[in-house]
Every structure is written in C-alpha cells, then in structure tokens.
Amino acid sequence: MYSFQSQMPTASSLFSAYASLSALAMLLRSIFHEFIPQPIRNYLLSLLHYLFHRRSNHLTLVIEEANSTGIGRNELYDASELYLSTKLTNPSTDRLKISKSPKDKSLTIRFEKGEEIHDFHDNVALYWRFLCMEPEKRRSSSTGADDNGLPSSVTPETRFFELSFDKKSKDKIINSYLPYILSKTKSMKDKERTLKLCTLASRYTGGNIYWDTTNLEHPSTFKTIAIDPNLKSEIINDLDRFVRRKDFYRRVGRAWKRGYLLYGPPGTGKSSLIAAMANYLRFDIYDLQLGNLIKDSDLRRLLLATANRSILVIEDIDCTIDIKNRRNKATTTSSGLDENGNVQVSYKPPEIQLTLSGLLNFIDGLWSSCGDERIIVFTTNHKEKLDPALLRPGRMDMHIHMSYLTFPSFRILVSNYLEFEGQHSVFDEIQRLIEVVKVTPAQVAEELMRSEDVDEALDGVVKLLKKKKEVVDNEDGLIKPEEEGDHGVIDDICLPSQNSQN
C-alpha cells in the first residue's frame, strides 16, 4: 500500500537542503559582486526591474545628490533631505542616523540607507526611499596601488532619493509638491543655518584675493540694540519691505539690492545695527576693506564671490574713499649686493588701480546686478567728507543718522545690562542730563557694566553725565538748538514707491 507519510522529507533533510540553497545563494551573490563589474551589475538589475515592473502604474523620480552636470550639489536633494527629516517620526522607520555638532542647538536626525518614508500631498500617496550606491575600489591586494602603480582611488558613493507615486499625479507632484518642498525648506534653512562673517584674506598674493569665512556669533538684535524706538521701527519696516518685493524690483528694472548709509559719531551703535540686521534677516555679512584692494578687478572678483542674501559692509568709508591719494603699499625687490656682500633691498609700491568710478559701478552699475537680495552698508563718522557722487539717489537708498543717546534707548541699555524694567528715583535726573549732554550708548554701557547692583550702576551713570556736563558746559559741549531731536533719524528714502505695496 502506498504510504504518503513515507514520502514526506524528514526535518534533517529539509534543513540540509535549506543550508545547501543558502550556501549556493551566498556563493552566487559573492560571484555576482566580486567578478561582475559594477556597470554590468547595474545594467542587469535595471533590466530585471524593467521586466518585472514595466506594467507598473507607478512613476519613480530619482533625485541625486550631485547636479546633472556633476558640478555642485543638487538643491532639490538638499531640500528633500531636510524636508524628510521632519517626517522621521513615522513608527514604521527602523533605522535612523543621529548626530550633533558643538554649534547645533538640537540633535540632527537623517535617513539611513534603504529606509522608506510615506507622505501624502493633495490626496496623493508618495513613497520616499533613500539609497546609496557603494563606491568602486581599484586596489591591488599587496601594494595598495591600482593596476598602473598609482595610489588606489575610491569613487565617492552615489547617494540619491527615489520618489514613487501614481503616474496619473505626475504633473501635480512636479508642479506643486516639489516646489512646496523647496519653499518650505528655504524658511527652515534660514532659521537653522549658522550665519557667516566673511572678510578678505590676510594677504594679497599674486592677484589672488578671496574671502575668509568664520561663524557670525554677534548677539545684537533689534530687541537689544539701544537706538531710538521710532528709528528702529522705520528700519525694520524697510527691511521687511525689501525682502518681499522681488517682483517689484524686477518689474521696475532694478537690481534687487538696498543701500544704507550709517553715519554719526563713534560709539553710537553702527556696527551693532549691522549685526542686528543680519540676525533679523538671517543674512551673511561680507566685510570689505577697500584699503586691501589694488584694482577695480578685485572688486568685481569679490562681488562675484559674494552669495545672495548677504550684507556687504564697507566701514569708515570716509577714511578709504580717497582712493587716488591713498598711500601705495610698498613691496620689496632685490637690487644686487652692496660692498659688504649683503643683499640690497629697495621698495617699489604696486600700481594702485582702484578708482572711485569702479566703486560706483560696483554699487549701482552693471556689476551690481550680479546677485539678488543683497544689502550694501556704508558707515562713516563724517558724512560731510563723502563725495556727493556716493550720496545721490539710487546708491545709498537710506541715510540713517546714528546719534547720541536718548532716554528711550537708555532704558533699553538698563534692561539689557541690569535686567531692570521698573522706575527708579534717578531716572528723571538722567533724562534731563541726556537731553543736554552728548553721550554715546557705548559710554553709558561701559558705566553700566561696572556693577550688577542697580542703584550703584545708575549712580555711576549720573556721575558720568554730571562730569561731562561740567567739562563741556560751553557752546561746543551742549547740544545746539538745531541738533535737538536729531537722535537717530532717517534722512531720506530714495527707492521710488516705497509706500506702495506690491
């Protein structure tokens, strides 16, 4: 009689067969990876994918890390990585990368390769996947060199995202979803990124001049800066109007830039205002020292290397604008040996070719349009010394007078340094003295730093103001009638239609 149970394989035979198949699979996998070149492997995998998925209703977009030209990064890849980092709370995610640098305020969470994230947009299901193509190595096992005897080279791994969705939603995803990601991550980057302070390299070598970069960690903000509140509001409103009017600038045919001239005595907060503007807009600062430049082409080169969304600062323009009469920098040249056999050294100044016209073209000429969303700031202690060509409309759009301390700005200093918000018995006396004595915010701030005790610090301010009044109790030391109320004003706003909304 035929026995079905007698034909059943035993557990040991099943395990033996499974082990054999596993060993064969591992052998084939090893042969596939070790002996078949990667281009052929990629072709075979893509062929299998095509054969088994050619009737799929899904479309997959590949977003690589590098641009299609191979030069520079793919903006959409960076945006996708940042956007998906907000979606990593999905409980189905198994593996994540996590890190934190000393400058980061929080942990950074990123994809691990092979992980998938699901998303929805306008009732369309989307499937994200992060993949890495392992690098190719050309190396001999004994010498660590390639076949030509050169050091081994490793091709960087290719990282990319795959975005899959129903083919019917192609237009919606490309025209709506991807632009949404770019827009959202732009605001996220502005909040999270570290601002940069860029200055010229320490030396000029063979015409190679470039920007050195460090982190901008200046704490000044519009909340802490001690300037007149009305002036502060005017500046903030103008900055807000500037950044939202891209279409307006394009429509009227002007470069998307804005020029500010900050003038007034030393210690009135010009540099702090620049830092507050950068922190408010999340713009990098480029500190340009004209004294380090030799020719106009240096300006053009630096302009092209200046990023969008930046503030270009030229401080103490009255000290550097006299370009033609500027003392040339000396260079040493060898001119033979003297009678003692020592090398004779002579000094030959380089030819200065930096001109005022070059600077003006840099501000509002053709070169000024090389970049978007830029702010140019000039500072000076002596506005009257500036060439009128720098002050005409269209070059410096706003002239902001940073003047002596007012009582409202004094209250800001007290809040910043003493954390005191209430009333004090000496405030009336201080207000009367401030109205007749010229004192800068820096001078009062220095006095407030001498003590943490409110009474002691304020008494020190009273003594400072009384001493200044006694020393300068004459016509030159007191504020003249025409100066009254001129504690920080905007002279003019030159951009047309500033009050109109675009």
Return residue ranges of the chain for CATH 3.40.50.300: 196-401
Cα 117 to Cα 126: distance, rounded to the nearest angstrom: 8
Instruction: Using the predicted structure, report yes or no on whether residue 413 has a pLDDT greater than 90.
Output: yes
Higher pLDDT among residues 136 and 493, named by residue: 136
Instruction: Using the predicted structure, report yes or no on whether residue 274 has a pLDDT greater than 50.
Output: yes
What pLDDT shows up at residue 412? Answer: 92
What pLDDT shows up at residue 145? Answer: 46
Cα 193 to Cα 277: distance, rounded to the nearest angstrom: 16
Residue that the structure tokens 């080279």 belong to: 153
Which two structure tokens, joined as six digits, stand for 397? 């759009």
Cα 260 to Cα 139: distance, rounded to the nearest angstrom: 58
End-to-end CA distance of the chain: 95
DSSP letter string, 141-152: TTTSB-TTSSBP
Instruction: Using the predicted structure, report yes or no on whether residue 112 has a pLDDT greater than 50.
Output: yes
Q: Residues 250, 256: contact at Cβ < 8 Å?
A: yes
Convert the pLDDT of each residue in 354-406 to its tens digit: 666 667 766 666 655 666 788 989 898 888 888 777 777 777 889 999 989 99
Of the spans 17-26, 125-134, 136-145, 227-236, which averages the highest pLDDT? 227-236
Region 191-206: what's the mean pLDDT?
70
Region 232-244: what's the mean pLDDT?
94
Name 249's Cβ contacts closer than 8 Å, sequence gap at least 6: 255, 256
Instruction: Using the predicted structure, report yes or no on whether residue 133 has a pLDDT greater than 80.
Output: no
Instruction: Using the predicted structure, report yes or no on whether residue 483 has a pLDDT greater than 70.
Output: no
Weakest mean pLDDT among 65-74, 267-276, 318-327? 318-327
* CA dihedral sign, ordered 403, 385, 360, 493: positive
Q: Residues 469, 479: contact at Cβ < 8 Å?
A: no
Cα 460 to Cα 30: distance, rounded to the nearest angstrom: 81
What pLDDT shows up at residue 392? Answer: 74
What pLDDT shows up at residue 58? Answer: 83
Of the spans 7-21, 313-327, 416-430, which averages the highest pLDDT? 416-430
Q: How confident is the model at residue 470 (pLDDT cuts 50, 70, 90)?
A: confident
What pLDDT shows up at residue 208? Answer: 62
CATH superfamily, domain 196-401, is P-loop containing nucleotide triphosphate hydrolases (3.40.50.300)
* CA dihedral sign, ordered 264, 266, 269, 275: positive
Reference 438, options 412, 465, 457, 458; nearest CA is: 465
Burial string for 3-37 (b: 16+ CB within 10 Å, else e) reads eeeeeeeeeeeeeeeeeeeeeeeeeeeeeeeeeee
Which two structure tokens, joined as six digits, stand for 187? 């605001």
Query: 82: helix, coil or strand?
Result: helix
Region 149-160: what's the mean pLDDT?
56
